[in-house]
């Protein structure tokens, strides 16, 4: 099993640019989570999907953030326009709905200059 | 709503010494409890979990944790640490359906020779 795959591994962009982060969950997993990790706030849940449907997006910080899951094997997290305070590591995680173990990707290190 | 507090942001310890990483949680409903470990430049991995039964749970790499309902705590312990245990450790809670996982801010364990 390839595990949860995130791309890109690193992203450096300038303020105001659009950023798209990608995630491929483990095959057969039907829940997907997006987390943001910063020194100040730790690991924050941004949004989670169940069977490709967004269930709870209360953690999404602003309207500049949006997430989609067009099918069971792909999800995106988009920031438009990006700001320096968005700099963080963004993790995607997946599990089988109702299963207690989360599987994390290696994360995307985002730097907004 | 659930929340997790990890009081210690960093814990330095010498190799072969015992260690305890503290975790307290708050919740209006019954929850499940977890510890995850994050090695440098990697995603989080499940270390151990408490779902039910014995309040003392054992995980990988010689770690164990004890669930204390009256004190709403789930402290992580290891009797003798190794250099390879240097990592960041996250305490987490989830609802009974494993729909949402909330993480603490993390504790960086630094094992010195």
Helix, strand, or coil (residue A38) = strand
Place of tokens 């770690």: B63
| Count of other CB atoms within 10 angstroms of residue A16 | 10
Contact across the interface for B105 and A55, Cβ inside 8 Å: no
Task: Give the integer Cα–Cα distance in Å for B110 and B113.
Answer: 10
- What part of B 9-68 touches A (C-beta under 8 Å)? 32, 34, 36, 41-46, 49, 51
Residue pair B103/B6 in contact (Cβ under 8 Å)? The answer is no
Q: Report the pLDDT value the prediction gives residue A1, as an integer from 0 to 100.
A: 61
Task: Give A32-80 pLDDT, tens digit per residue.
Answer: 999 999 888 888 999 999 999 999 999 998 899 999 999 999 999 999 9
Q: Picking from A21-25, A45-49, B25-29, B88-92, which range would have the lowest pLDDT averaged per residue?
A: B25-29
Shortest CB distance from A55 goes to which of B44, B98, B99? B99
């Amino acid at each position: 099993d390839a595990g949860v795959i995130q791309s890109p591994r690193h992203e450096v962009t300038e303020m105001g640019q659009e950023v798209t982060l990608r995630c491929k969950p483990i095959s057969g997993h039907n829940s997907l989570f997006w987390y943001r990790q910063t020194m100040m706030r730790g690991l924050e849940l941004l949004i989670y999907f169940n069977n490709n449907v967004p269930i709870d997006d209360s953690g999404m910080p602003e309207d500049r953030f949006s997430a989609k899951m067009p099918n069971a094997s792909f999800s995106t997290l988009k920031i438009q326009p990006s700001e320096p305070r968005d700099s963080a590591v963004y993790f995607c995680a997946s599990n089988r709905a109702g299963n207690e173990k989360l599987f994390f990707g290696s994360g995307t290190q985002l730097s907004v200059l | 709503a659930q929340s997790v507090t990890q009081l210690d942001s960093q814990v330095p310890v010498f190799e072969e010494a015992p260690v305890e990483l503290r975790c307290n949680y708050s919740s209006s409903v019954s929850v499940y409890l977890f510890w995850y470990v994050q090695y440098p430049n990697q995603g989080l991995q499940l270390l151990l979990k408490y779902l039910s039964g014995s309040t003392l749970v054992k995980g990988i790499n010689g770690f164990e944790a004890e669930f204390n309902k009256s004190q709403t705590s789930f402290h992580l312990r290891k009797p003798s640490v190794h250099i390879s245990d240097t990592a960041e450790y996250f305490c987490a809670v989830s609802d009974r359906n494993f729909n949402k996982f909330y993480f603490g801010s993390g504790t960086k364990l630094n094992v010195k020779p």
